[in-house]
Structures are given as C-alpha cells and as structure tokens.
Amino acid sequence: MLNVQNLTKRYKRGDSSFAALDDVSLTLGGGEFAVISGHSGSGKSTLLNIIAGLLPADSGVVELDGKVITGLADNEISRIRNGQIGFIPQGHSVLANLTVLENICLPRWLYGNADGGGDYALSLLDGMGAANLAHQYPAQLSGGELRRVSVARALLGKPKLIIADEPTSDLDAGNAAAVMGLFAAAAKGGAAVLVVAHSEAGLDGVDCRRLQMSGGSLV
Amino acid sequence: MSKSLTLNKIALRNITRRYARSLFLGGLVALLAFVLTGGSLLVSSLRSGTESMAARLGADALIVPAGYERSAEGALLRGEPSSFYLEPDLAERLSQVEGIAQVSPQLFIASMNSEHCDAIVQFIGFDPDTDFVVKPWLSQLLSGGLPKGQIVIGSRIDGKPGQELNFFGRKYTVAAKLEETGMGFDTSVFTDLETSRIALADYISFGGENAPPDADGVASVLTVNIRQGYDSNQFSRNVNYGFRKEGVGVVFPKTMISNVSGNLASLIGVTVALMVLLWVLAAGVLTVLFSVTVNERKREFGVYRALGAPQRYLSRLILTESLAVSAAGAVIGTALITLVYFLFSDLIGLSIDAPYLRPAGGVTALVITGGFALSLVIGPLAAAYSAGKIGRIATYAIMREGE
C-alpha cells in the first residue's frame, strides 16, 4: 500500500543545515496500523508531510498503491491527497465557518462532487456518538468532539491511507482512546493507518505496529 | 442532509460569517466608488456645461456699457439678473464701428422680486431680423420662429408651453421651454426685441432699478461678429477709443469661455489627480488589509490544502471573496452617488460657480459604469498578491504546527 524508500530532507539553519529525515524507509500494508513516536524535532511530522505530498523530499521515493507520488505537480498530488489519503493535520483542523456536517463533506465538494456523501458522513458521526453535532458550528464543540469530526472527515472518502499528526495531543485519556479506536477500526476496514503520537495516550490495548523516530531516522 | 457547497458558496459563507471584516472592506470600496463615480460625474458635468456654453455664445464680441462687463458675464454664465443700457443713438453709432461683419442688439432686463413677476429671471430680447446668436439654437425648438408677444423660458423656470407667465404686470404666453444648458440661459426668458421693449416700458413704469428714461431704441448689448481676418484687438481699440467719452466696454465670449475652460481645466486636473491618488491609496490599503487577513487565515487555508485543495483553488477562493466584497461595495457606493447626483443635481449646479450641465444619458451611464468597474476591480487586484502566494503560506502553516 505505502512504500517509502530512502527519504531524505535537510533544512537550513543559518549557515549550516541539518537532516530532518535521514534515509528513512518504511512500508505499510493495507489494514495495517502503525504509530510513530519520538521527541519533538525527530522528523515525525516532516515524514508525514512528505508522504502527504505537502512537502518535497530532497531525495527518496514515496509510492502509494504502486504509484510513485513524489515529484508530482501540485494539481496531481492534491487530487491524490483528496481521493486516496485521509490526512489529519496537527491541532484543530475543523473550519469555523462550516457546520460539522459541511466540514466532513468538504473534501468531496472540493472537486465538484455534488454528492458530498452526507448519509455516510451522518453514519460516521452516529458511529462516534456525535450525530447530534451534525449541524453545529465548531465554536460550539469541545476539543474531543472537534477531533472526532477531523477523523470522520478523513474517513469519508474511504481512503487507502490515513495519516494523522498528533491526533491525541490535547485530549484526555478517554477521548484519546476513542480516537485511537477509530483508527484501529479504519485499519480493520482495510486502510493503511499511519499515526504520529507524542505519547502512548489512547494506545493501551490497541493492536498496532510501534515505530520510533530519532534524529531523522526510524530506529 | 447538507447541500453541496461550491467554491462560490464557501466564499459567500466566509464573507457573511466574518461580517465585521467584510463590512469594513466593503465599506472602503463603497467609499471609493462613491468618490470616484461622484468625481467623474462632476468632471463630466463641468465639461458638458462648458461645451454647452461654447455652443450658445456664438458671437465674437459683446459691446456693453462701461463697467458692466462683469454683469454681462454674470448674466450669461450664471443667470445673475441685471439691467444695463446703451443709449439709442449710441447703439446705432456703435454698429458702424470698423471691423464689424454682423451686429445685433439684445436687451437685458432683470425681473422684479415682487408680485409683478412670476419668477426672478433675466429677460433677454433679441432682434429676429439681425440676430445670429439666439436664433440658430432657438430654431431647433421653434421651426416657425418665435411669435411676437410670446416667450421662450429656460429649463429652471416653472412653466410649460401654452402657459401664461406674468412679467412686469403683463401676461406672456410660453411658446417653448429650453433644454438645460448649464449656464445663465436656464434662468432666462427670451423674447423678440419689440416685445422686450414693451416689457422694459413696464419695468420703467414700476420704477425698476437702473432703468433708462425711455424704452424706445434702447439695447443692453450689441452682439458682434468681427469681419474675417480683422484683428480683434484692433476692433476692441476701435470701440474703446472711438467711444471713450460715452464709456463702453468689449467682452469677448471666446476669452470668457477660454477663461472658464482654463479654470475648469485646473479644477478637473486636480479632481482627476485626487481620484487617481485615492484609487492608488485605496489599492495600497486594501492590498495590506487582504495580506493581513490572509495571513491571519493561513491555518484555515492550510486545512484546505491538507484536504487536497490545490493551490489554484485557494487563489480562486481568495479572489472570489475579494470580488464579492468589492462588488457589494461598488454597487452600494455607485448606487448611492447616482441617487445623490440625480436628486441634487440642480443644487450642485447652483452651488458651483461654473457652467454645469448633466451630460447626455449615455455619457452619464458610461461614467457611472466606469466608476463601478474601477471600484469593482480594486478588490481582486489588491488580493492578487495574497492569492498568488497563498498556496505556499498555507502549506507552511499546516506543517508548522507539527514541527
């Protein structure tokens, strides 16, 4: 499903440069749930952003479902991100001017798909015990509820790959467990799930592959 | 179920949900549209007034009693009623001055502010046999000429054809009403010389100010066309030296028009320069405002990127929002100034000490459309810089939190 080969990314800092990613390779099959942990600055987010096509790599290759997606034009990689990758960025990523249901359906509308998958979106919310929030605006939601909306939005297109950057960072233990449970369920449904987590919060009893990053490398 | 949100609907939602910011930006564009369109309407009205004046002051020179040169200008340009007279034999002798190709007398009488007159106007009598100034444009209204004893009234005088108006205690039938000219003719009454002398006799009988002892043979102005090739300065000297004892002055309408045009050119130049400056300033302010706004919203745009929106989508979203805000502001500002212009055009004309005439409908529509268009494009133009770099900013914003 996901095949990452020899990714390298260097950043400049003043006159010198440092490796945010240093020859990172990783494979993730469909139905597999992997959690990468590591200290701040270890390169976790850089790895996710390159896989999602938001950031170019200096070298290396990312393959999704057998297709090389590194080096594609913005339009091409954006469409792949929209259709095949469910990306949950760090922090709150629910748009304040749209209702919960509109937020969840938005990825489909971005490419002119008039059917926003509203029924499926409602069933996802229902499965998360949040169906009553469908027509609320984000300002009325708690942190845990907002995060669930982000997850529901990532799941809407039934993507092949789900990427989440610190999805439990500001949640209490109960909400963190609920969110990780959603990812585990998505993996059981056949998606490859790659999550970056700063801590072990919510992972108790979750069947996943644990990876560690340090100094830009997977160890 | 939620209805599909197109890019336009999302832009509209973003505008309405952030109404304070949208109101401020739209208000700025509305103000710009108001000033730009208003300034353009003013400039075109002044130009139209000057052109109208040039078309109607068809004499090379006016001979008036000494000291009344300004009164003649005031009567013609601004409709300031005044009465002044050349003695009958003087008018006759003046018509013999060397250099004259055509000459025709006109009689000016200021109406009275009393029950003897229905309106405060400048009564102007012209000689139908010799006139070459009034008849050419009057004939467009009255193909058969002006019947004796009847009057033609200016556009700002209450009355209509067939109605009788009272001047100096006598009823005069209105034969026609002039279109607006933007000059003193709008508050003038035209009649033939013979009828105007009857009016003058009435004026004298009521003890009118500055009245001559007798109405017979009296004229206020001699309109003159100078012989082709004859030096106008020499003509002026002929009049001034030949009649220095009697005291007469020469007014050159072309000089009058060119003075007015010169003053207006300066005024128009300053107005246009101010409008250009305002547009550039507004464009600068809006560019900064859009830049600050987009910077504040970079996280929001970053979310769109994370969901798969290409950079082009974000640029279109910003440009659509700016166009919608600009359009709303431009519509409000243009509509408001159009309303003010049409409601208060007469008042504006009266308060400006210059020929002022609302231009033809097509020109007015063109000016309003131009003001609207210049205001409409300013939003997208000002947002273009932010729209161009939003993809990079948004991507950086969405990644930044994770680094």
ipTM of the complex: 0.92
pLDDT for residue B79: 67
In a domain, B76, yes or no: yes
In a domain, B136, yes or no: yes
Per-residue model confidence as pLDDT tens digits over B66-80: 888 887 777 776 667
Residue B338 has pLDDT above 50, yes or no: yes
Q: Is B10 within 8 Å of A89 when comparing Cβ atoms?
A: no
Residue A190 has pLDDT above 80, yes or no: yes
pLDDT for residue B2: 61
Q: Is B5 within 8 Å of A78 when comparing Cβ atoms?
A: no
Is there a single domain that holds both residue B154 and residue B137? yes
Per-residue model confidence as pLDDT tens digits over B219-251: 888 888 899 899 988 998 988 888 888 788 888
Per-residue model confidence as pLDDT tens digits over B25-50: 999 999 999 999 999 998 888 888 87
In this structure, are residues A45 and B403 in contact, taking their beta carbons and an 8 Å threshold? yes
Confidence at B1, pLDDT banded by 50, 70, 90:
low
Is there a single domain that holds both residue B43 and residue B104? no
pLDDT for residue B212: 80
Residue B397 has pLDDT above 80, yes or no: no
Query: Which residues constitute the domain of residue B17?
Result: 7-52+259-402
Instruction: Indicate the range of A24-28, A63-67, A204-208 predicted with least confidence.
Output: A204-208
In a domain, B1, yes or no: no
Residue B215 has pLDDT above 80, yes or no: no
Is there a single domain that holds both residue B32 and residue B162? no
In this structure, are residues B235 and B226 in contact, taking their beta carbons and an 8 Å threshold? yes
Beta strands in B219-369 (DSSP E): 221-226, 248-251
Confidence at B403, pLDDT banded by 50, 70, 90:
very low
- SS3 annotation, chain B: CCCCCCHHHHHHHHHHHCHHHHHHHHHHHHHHHHHHHHHHHHHHHHHHHHHHHHHHCCCCEEEEECCCHHHHHHHHHHCCCCCCCECHHHHHHHCCCCCEEEEEEEEEEECCCCCCCCCCCEEEEECCCCCCCCHHHHCCCCCCCCCCCEEEECCCCCCCCCCEEEECCEEEEEEEECCCCCCHHHHEEEEEHHHHHHHHHHHHHCCCCCCCCCCCCCECEEEEEECCCCCHHHHHHHHHHHCCCCCEEEECHHHHHHHHHHHHHHHHHHHHHHHHHHHHHHHHHHHHHHHHHHHHCHHHHHHHHHCCCCHHHHHHHHHHHHHHHHHHHHHHHHHHHHHHHHHHHHHHHHHCCCCCCCCCHHHHHHHHHHHHHHHHHHHHHHHHHHHHHHHHHHHHHHHHCCC
Is there a single domain that holds both residue B81 and residue B198? yes
Is there a single domain that holds both residue B244 and residue B263? no
pLDDT for residue A4: 94
- pLDDT > 90: percent of chain B: 37
Q: Estimate to the nearest angstrom the gap between the alpha carbon of B335 and the chain centroid.
A: 19
Is there a single domain that holds both residue B97 and residue B37? no
* For residues A137-166, average pLDDT: 90
Say if pTM beats, i.e. exceeds, 0.80: no
pLDDT for residue B334: 96
Per-residue model confidence as pLDDT tens digits over B256-266: 777 777 777 88
Is there a single domain that holds both residue B242 and residue B109? yes
d(CA A46, CA A60): 13
Domain boundary among B200, B227, B251: B251
Q: Is B309 within 8 Å of A41 when comparing Cβ atoms?
A: no
Instruction: Indicate the range of A171-175, B24-28, B285-289 predicted with least confidence.
Output: A171-175
- How close does chain A come to B400, measured CA to CA in Å? 9
pLDDT for residue B399: 67
Is there a single domain that holds both residue B24 and residue B122? no
Instruction: Indicate the range of B27-31, B45-49, B115-119, B299-303 predicted with least confidence.
Output: B115-119
Residue B183 has pLDDT above 90, yes or no: no
* For residues A40-50, average pLDDT: 89
* For residues B9-26, average pLDDT: 92
Residue B395 has pLDDT above 80, yes or no: no
Is there a single domain that holds both residue B44 and residue B74? no
pLDDT for residue B208: 77
pLDDT for residue B402: 44
Domain boundary among B251, B271, B302: B251
Test the B interface: residue of A46, A109, A155 with most B CBs within 10 Å: A109
Domain boundary among B219, B251, B283: B251
Chain B contact for A62 (CB, 8 A cutoff):
no
Count the domains in chain B: 2
Chain A contact for B310 (CB, 8 A cutoff):
yes
- By Cβ distance, the residue of A99, A107, A166 closest to B308 is A107
pLDDT for residue B25: 92
Confidence at B121, pLDDT banded by 50, 70, 90:
confident
Of B144 and B35, the one with more pLDDT: B35
Residue A195 has pLDDT above 90, yes or no: yes
In a domain, B334, yes or no: yes
In a domain, B268, yes or no: yes
Residue B331 has pLDDT above 60, yes or no: yes
Task: Indicate the average pLDDT of chain A.
Answer: 89
Is there a single domain that holds both residue B318 and residue B235? no
Residue A57 has pLDDT above 80, yes or no: yes
Chain B contact for A114 (CB, 8 A cutoff):
yes
Per-residue model confidence as pLDDT tens digits over B345-389: 878 877 776 777 778 888 899 999 999 999 999 999 999 998 988
Counted across chains A and B, CB pairs separated by less than 8 A come out at 108
Per-residue model confidence as pLDDT tens digits over A109-132: 999 877 767 788 898 888 778 889
Residue B390 has pLDDT above 60, yes or no: yes
pLDDT for residue B401: 53
Residue B189 has pLDDT above 50, yes or no: yes
Shortest CA distance from B16: residue in chain A: A97
Is there a single domain that holds both residue B12 and residue B80? no
Is there a single domain that holds both residue B225 and residue B280? no
Task: Indicate the average pLDDT of chain B.
Answer: 86
In a domain, B2, yes or no: no
Cβ-based contacts of A114 with chain B (< 8 Å): 4
